[in-house]
Structure 1
């Protein structure tokens, strides 16, 4: 998930329904037997550099139900896993290709750096991933290459076979309108890759997500897998969170993926506010609810959870969400298992 929402994403959201205020009434809690899926956000990205095979593999070993690759395309049209098309913050590209630094306008925002679409796959494969956040371990920097989407799918397929578990993939189309304007659309090759791995089925362990409604609407005509409309807490997505907006989203999507504060508000001082009705409203519209992103780091954990990252997982599960994205899937797997075994927690 991105902390920045650019103009085309906002415009795409506003096409769905007219503006209205988001729901703010209290939500009911879910029974302990209702266990959300654990979605490894960019892999086990709290433990390894994000969007690497090592991060995805570790997440699977920790028991995650799904791994999440964000997808962009290379100059020669290959889908690769990066959180953004700007790759300067997550690879050693600045050292290897200093002359490729440039400035672009991406979805209405001016961005300076190095961009996946300016490199062939062969060039990207010379790069090595680095940890994005300064306060996380950098012990694994420089070890892992940038993976292709096909490599991610192959890893998941192999690990599912080895473990006997049903392991899913949860790709996101990143800046899809921008890439389509470059002649490098994301949706068609994404579906082709799923089909090549036998995953273009309604019952496949796959969700495809996007902030852009137009990308999901295009995908709806290409694939049968469940689709997820992403939203953040900005006014641009407020119309989507009303009952009428959710009903409109349901016409092309199967779930919503929302910023966690849209379900469990947090005050400026880090205290927990009154839960909203978004989960029950979405369920009434026939939509599942997945929330993002839980992080155990003290810089991200709200004060209301008293330093216990597992408490945040348990709280959102109690509010009835159907899936939770987290950088530390081991924390989520353990917290949800304990909640099911000990309903009093």
Structure 2
């Protein structure tokens, strides 16, 4: 479960030693242009994976090329050969957990057209059936017209079918009292809390300290992550209830990453750092040189080319 770099210097060497390809279009490039991803994969070069390279997480799925948090984005990440996908979980008016980033539906669905009198179109003000009828793909490109906001159960089933792994974010838990228990219940029902899943295929994260603490108290066996960049002097407090500190890439330094790695998390392993959101090759090499363990990215194929991640 834990990926450990030998040293920040080794990570730097690996990042800069990688020779980038100038070859044919990648799978994701083809997908963005509407080409067959299967045909594109056949013409592209195999990904280069280096020892010590960071783990790659497809942010909201392969969201540079498909509408975020949809099953299409999950499938495209799988087509690209990305093991880990990241998603966001919120709760509907009637208690269903759905996979969507914003706490309103306006940006990524046609809710304003379908329900013009229900502004501000909060997720919590709509039933699961109402949300299931929205178009969550046309805003991205016409190619994805008719894509839906998946329930968490639908999302879990697809990730499991694809034999992928999940970095699950509980979004804005302050809006949804008890969402931690609800999330764990759905994970249990979907078969995601067995020993193999817990040890190797699932991480639960949040920007909320209280949420991460709650998840840890309810399921001490789960790997958890805190989203943010705590001060170095406060990191020991976080190590009491989490396993990873996942910061925005602009907020970190090599010294800060080393300070995180110097501590052991709640399961006795060195704390990890998975940084977000990195889509630029130069930035990817920069954070790799800092020694991060993982990179959360909308464009995992681009970052893989840059750093040899997996």
1:262 equivalent to 2:251? Answer: yes
Q: How much has 1:310 moved relative to structure 2?
A: 2.4
Residue 235 (structure 2) aligns with: 246
Residue 289 (str. 1) matches residue 278 (str. 2): no
Aligned position for 1:89: 107
User: Residues 311-338 of structure 1: CA distance to partner in whole angstroms, max 9, x if unpaired?
Assistant: 322222222111111011111233333x
1:196-275 matches, within 5 Å, as 196-200=189-193, 201=195, 202-223=198-219, 224-231=221-228, 240-242=230-232, 244-263=233-252, 275=253
Between the aligned partners of 2:184 and 2:200, the Cα distance in structure 1 is 13
RMSD over aligned Cα atoms: 1.9
Identify, as 1 or 2, the structure richer in helix.
Answer: 2
Distance 1:140 1:241 in 2: 44
Q: Find the counterpart in structure 1 of residue 36 from structure 2.
A: none
Question: In structure 2, what is the Cα distance between the partners aligned to 1:248 and 1:171?
Answer: 22
| Structure 1 gap ranges (5+) | 1-26, 102-112, 161-166, 233-239, 264-274, 296-308, 341-345
| Whole-angstrom distance in 1 between the partners of 2:176 and 2:145 | 28
Closer/same/farther in 2, CA of residues 29 and 87 from structure 1, 3 Å limit: farther
Q: What is the distance in 1 between the residues matched to 2:93 and 2:10?
A: 48
Aligned 8 A contact 1:50 1:131 in 2: no
Judging changes above 3 Å, is the alpha-carbon distance between structure 1 residues 129 and 198 closer, same or farther for their aligned structure 2 residues?
Answer: same
- SS of equivalent to 1:171: strand
**Counterpart pick for 2:169 among 159, 172, 183:** 172
Partner of residue 280, structure 1: 258
Distance 2:284 2:121 in 1: 35
Give the number of aligned pairs.
Answer: 256
Structure 2: tracts of 5 or more residues without a match: 1-7, 15-50, 265-270
Q: Structure 1 segments of 4 or more deviating over 3 A?
A: none
TM-score w.r.t. the length of structure 2 is: 0.78
TM-score (norm. length: structure 1): 0.70
Distance 1:154 1:130 in 2: 20
Q: Secondary structure at the match of 2:226?
A: strand
Structure 1 Cα separation of the partners of residues 68 and 84 of structure 2: 15
1:187 matched to 2:173? The reply is no
Task: Indicate conservation of the 8 Å contact 1:156/1:168, yes or no.
Answer: yes
